[in-house]
Amino acid sequence: MTLHPAAERDAQSLTEGGPSGEAGYGRVRPAGVDTSHGAILYLEDITVSFDGFKALNNLSLDIGVGELRCVIGPNGAGKTTMMDVITGKTRPTGGTVFFGQNIDLTTLNEAQIADAGIGRKFQRPTVFENHTVFENLELAMKMNKGVRSTLFARLSSEQQDRISDTLALIRLTPEIWRLAGLLSHGQKQWLEIGMLLMQEPQLLLLDEPVAGMTDAETERTGELLNELRGKHSLMVVEHDMDFVTQIAGPGKVTVLHEGSVLAEGTMAHVQADPRVIEVYLGR
Ligand SMILES: Nc1ncnc2c1ncn2[C@@H]1O[C@H](COP(=O)(O)OP(=O)(O)OP(=O)(O)O)[C@@H](O)[C@H]1O
Ligand SMILES: [Mg+2]
């Protein structure tokens, strides 16, 4: 028996890119990025100097495919600078950054890095306030270069399904026709995460996603990120330790301090590390 081509593609897209590198929700191994060694991101010996001050100092870190990695550490540890290096906003003074085995991110500009499949969420939500929730997701999907449609083309049923799935995931189904500008701060953050997901990033970087959220919104964000684990590779920077505990689960947490990795391991492991308590958790 042969599978119908669409069914075959859908089955394949659960774990890797479709044959043409086309849309497929939950794709973690795109055509183009070689993750055959199991990692989506490799930072090696990264140094960033600002007028002689080393914001990153021989930082080395790998992220596995489908992993949700939490990064914690005191103010000024270099967490945001690390994301700036990954996304091409800041060039490292030394070291290498690879996306999979084959894509040297230090040779690409910010737009090329986004196109290669790295999405980044900044702290402040950036949504199209004068458009509805639905339109925000639709626009984000159509800006994805991998999707063959124009801004004016009607959505295929597959595309409509992707929007409804994303709405459910980001808990905004009841708000589908609301203007984004009328959403709460937390809902805007979820919408932006949804917009990033519509672009099918292989790696998603979130810098302090729950800052300014209510407790209830924070908890729902944790549930949301837990649902993405395994389908996407994620790096999440946060200071809210209850939240980090909720999303880290049994996974790895990396502690940055003075531009390098101070400790790495499960949340329980790093919480018990006296050096981590001294520079961060015990403050
Ligand atoms: N463009 C820049 N020029 C000079 N110094 C900078 C620049 N960007 C960051 N720094 C410095 O680099 C260090 C690391 O900053 P970074 O923003 O990466 O820290 P962080 O870990 O994200 O901190 P926080 O938890 O407060 O967000 C800080 O001392 C900061 O002042
Ligand atoms: Mg920061």
Using the atom order of ligand 1, give the atom closest to the CA of residue 208: 27
CA atoms within 13 A on the CB side of 231: 13
Reading the block at residue 162, the tokens are 């992707």
Is 28 a residue whose pLDDT tops 60? no
Give the pLDDT of residue 148.
61
Using the atom order of ligand 1, give the atom closest to the CA of residue 81: 18
266-275 long-range Cβ contacts below 8 angstroms, 24+ apart: 267/70, 270/72
Q: How far is the CA of 238 from the centre of ligand 2 (A)?
A: 9
Q: How far is the CA of 50 from the centre of ligand 1 (A)?
A: 10
Give the pLDDT of residue 142.
82
Q: Tell me how far apart the alpha carbons of residues 152 and 167 are, in angstroms, rounded to a whole number.
A: 21
Q: Is 51 exposed, middle or buried (0-12, 13-18, 19+ CB in 10 A)?
A: exposed
Is 249 a residue whose pLDDT tops 70? yes
Q: Tell me how far apart the alpha carbons of residues 256 and 55 are, in angstroms, rounded to a whole number.
A: 11
Q: Are 203 and 118 in contact (CB under 8 A)?
A: yes
Question: Regarding predicted confidence, which is higher, 187 or 14?
Answer: 187
Mean pLDDT in residue range 166-179: 97
Using the atom order of ligand 1, give the atom closest to the CA of residue 51: 4
Give the pLDDT of residue 125.
78
**Residue linked to tokens 């191994």:** 29
For the ranges 16-30, 62-76, 149-163, 248-262, the lowest mean pLDDT is seen at 16-30
For the ranges 116-120, 157-161, 192-196, 263-267, the lowest mean pLDDT is seen at 157-161
Query: For residue 63, which of 113, 100, 92, 91 has the smallest C-alpha distance?
Result: 100
Q: By alpha-carbon position, which residue is closest to atom 10 of ligand 1? A: 55
Mean pLDDT in residue range 251-275: 96
Q: Tell me how far apart the alpha carbons of residues 188 and 194 are, in angstroms, rounded to a whole number.
A: 10
Give the pLDDT of residue 32.
83
Express each pLDDT in 125-151 by its tens digit: 789 999 999 999 999 988 776 666 666
Query: For residue 27, which of 199, 155, 264, 274 has the smallest C-alpha distance?
Result: 199
Task: Assign 122 a pLDDT band (cuts: 50, 70, 90).
Answer: confident
Q: Tell me how far apart the alpha carbons of residues 53 and 59 are, in angstroms, rounded to a whole number.
A: 14
Give the pLDDT of residue 19.
34
Express each pLDDT in 210-243 by its tens digit: 999 999 999 999 999 999 998 999 999 999 999 9
Chain-centroid distance of CA 148 in Å reads 23
Reading the block at residue 82, the tokens are 């690390």
Q: How far is the CA of 198 from the centre of ligand 2 (A)?
A: 25
Chain-centroid distance of CA 135 in Å reads 22
Give the pLDDT of residue 283.
64
Is 5 a residue whose pLDDT tops 50? no
Q: How far is the CA of 147 from the centre of ligand 1 (A)?
A: 36
- Residues 6 or more apart whose CB falls under 8 angstroms from that of 13 comprise 23, 24, 25, 26, 27
Is 79 a residue whose pLDDT tops 50? yes
Q: Are 255 and 263 in contact (CB under 8 A)?
A: yes
